[in-house]
Amino acid sequence: MNVTITPTPLAGAVTPPPSKSQAHRLIIAAALSDGFCKLSNVDLSEDIQATLRCMRTLDADASSDGTIIRGADLVDGHEEPAPEVMDCGESGSTLRFLIPVALALKGGGKFTGHGRLMERPQEPYFALFREKGIFYEQKDGVLTVRSKLTPGDYTLPGNVSSQFITGLLYALPLLEGDSRILLTTDLESRGYVDMTLDALGQFGVKAEYDGGRTFHVPGNQYYQHRDLAIEADWSNAAFWYGAVSLGCQVDIQGLNAYSVQGDMRIVPYYMKLQGEGPVDLDVSQCPDLVPPLAAMAALRAGETTRIVNAGRLRIKESDRLATVTQVLNALGAQVEEHEDYLVIHGREKLAGGVTVSGHNDHRIAMMAAIAAIRCEGAVTITGAECVKKSYPRFWEDYRRLGGELTCDI
Query: What residues form DSSP beta bridges with 223?
Result: 33
Catalytic site includes residue 340: no
> What is the strand order of the sheet 142-146 is part of?
85-87, 108-112, 142-146, 135-139
How far apart (Å, rounded) are the C-alpha atoms in residues 344 and 328?
A: 10
Question: How much is the CA Rg of the chain, to the nearest whole Å?
Answer: 21
Question: Is 68 within 8 Å of 104 (Cβ atoms)?
Answer: no
Which member of 233, 288, 361, 397 is catalytic? Answer: 288
Determine how β-strand 304-308 pairs with β-strand 334-337. unpaired
Catalytic residues: 288
